[in-house]
């Protein structure tokens, strides 16, 4: 099973080290003692990669888990430069226990509001949306995109009710603070959290205002991934974006549980993103 030094790791070698890594991680999460050095020596005897190379590969696995918002092994600080095949190996292991991320990952735990946006000394950074790429993706961007495809960030975030509500809470406070800073406390008091107080059927989550009093209907989309992580939009939300195009906007929060950032998209949405049908409603004939 051993491969030569400096050669790419095979799928078999990646599977072997991922198995050992998760066994140690299970001990760590359970509070059990374990001997990293001994397990690495056993792994070296199996695959012949050397304990130094094995240690660095453990740090690569930590980087994959960090990007998932999951816990990682103490002593193996995430190292970002790794083969894309390692992502596949981690996914193969997680596919064996499909609920592992739900049980252990902060990615799916109730998303904490990372700061109090209503406080005077804090604010939410709202930058420009991603532009159409005119250059090839960087290696890091390619890795992020592969992670998004492999682990369905968009679908997982969509199903995370707590993450969505935390994002809406942040935007609700941000809108109120913005209006107060623009000397419109009267409008700030009238901002409504529609999805919380009236349900999800309106096609937007927050009913706010521009400083001149014009309505601002905000649909909030929150993910823990990068700025280009895909997100889901319902047929109703899309219909409202077209019917009330002058009032509606999509407020996109990303990297939420680490360092939340945001941008806004305005109709027509297909000028900014490519829309793909992911499901169909079936009616009997």
Q: How far apart are the C-alpha atoms of 44 and 40, rounded to whole Å?
A: 6
Q: Are residues 159 and 98 in the same domain?
A: no
111 part of a folded domain: no
pLDDT of residue 162: 80
pLDDT of residue 280: 74
Q: Are residues 56 and 154 in the same domain?
A: no
262 part of a folded domain: yes
**Is 60 exceeded by the pLDDT of residue 206?**
yes
**Is 60 exceeded by the pLDDT of residue 120?**
no
113 part of a folded domain: no
Q: Are residues 264 and 204 in the same domain?
A: yes
Q: How far apart are the C-alpha atoms of 25 and 19, rounded to whole Å?
A: 10
The pLDDT > 70 percentage for the chain reads 79
Q: Are residues 245 and 170 in the same domain?
A: yes
pLDDT of residue 121: 47
pLDDT of residue 149: 67
Q: Are residues 253 and 143 in the same domain?
A: yes
pLDDT of residue 119: 46
Domain count, the chain: 2
Q: Are residues 92 and 156 in the same domain?
A: no
Q: Are strands 248-254 and 215-222 parallel, antiparallel or unpaired?
A: parallel
Residue 103 vs residue 49, higher pLDDT? 49
Q: Which of 14-23, 250-259, 271-280 has the lowest mean pLDDT?
A: 271-280
**Is 70 exceeded by the pLDDT of residue 135?**
no
**Is 90 exceeded by the pLDDT of residue 44?**
yes
Domain extent for 33: 11-104
258 part of a folded domain: yes
Average pLDDT of 169-192?
Answer: 96
pLDDT band at 137 (very low <50, low <70, confident <90, very high): low
Whether pTM > 0.75 for this model: the answer is: no
215 neighbors 238 (Cβ within 8 angstroms): no
Q: Are residues 88 and 155 in the same domain?
A: no
285 part of a folded domain: no
Q: In what order do the strands lie in the sheet with 192-193?
A: 192-193, 206-209, 215-222, 248-254, 261-265
């Amino acid at each position: 099973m051993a491969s030569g030094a400096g050669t790419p790791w095979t799928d078999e070698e990646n599977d072997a080290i991922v198995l050992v890594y998760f066994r140690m991680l299970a001990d760590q999460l359970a509070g059990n003692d374990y001997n990293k050095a001994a397990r690495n020596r056993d792994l070296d005897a199996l695959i012949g990669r050397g304990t130094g190379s094995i240690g660095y590969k453990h740090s690569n696995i930590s980087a994959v888990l960090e990007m998932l918002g999951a816990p990682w092994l103490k002593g193996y600080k995430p190292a970002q430069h790794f083969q894309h095949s390692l992502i596949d190996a981690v996914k193969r292991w997680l596919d064996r226990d499909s609920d592992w991320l739900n049980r252990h990952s902060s990615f799916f735990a109730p998303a904490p509001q990372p700061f109090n946006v209503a406080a005077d000394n804090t604010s939410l950074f709202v930058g420009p949306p991603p532009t159409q790429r005119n250059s090839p993706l960087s290696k890091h961007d390619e890795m992020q995109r592969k992670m998004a495809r492999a682990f369905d960030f968009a679908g997982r975030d969509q199903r995370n009710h707590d993450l969505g509500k935390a994002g809406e809470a942040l935007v609700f406070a941000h809108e109120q603070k913005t209006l107060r800073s623009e000397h419109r406390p009267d409008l700030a008091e009238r901002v409504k959290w529609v999805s919380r107080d009236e349900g999800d059927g309106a096609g937007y989550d927050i009913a706010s205002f521009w400083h001149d009093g014009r309505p601002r209907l905000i649909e909030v989309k929150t993910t823990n991934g990068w700025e280009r992580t895909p997100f889901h939009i319902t047929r109703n939300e899309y219909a409202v974006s077209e019917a009330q195009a002058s009032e509606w906007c999509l407020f996109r929060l990303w990297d939420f549980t680490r360092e939340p950032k945001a941008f806004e998209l305005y109709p027509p949405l297909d000028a900014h993103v490519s829309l793909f049908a992911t499901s169909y409603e079936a009616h009997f004939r």
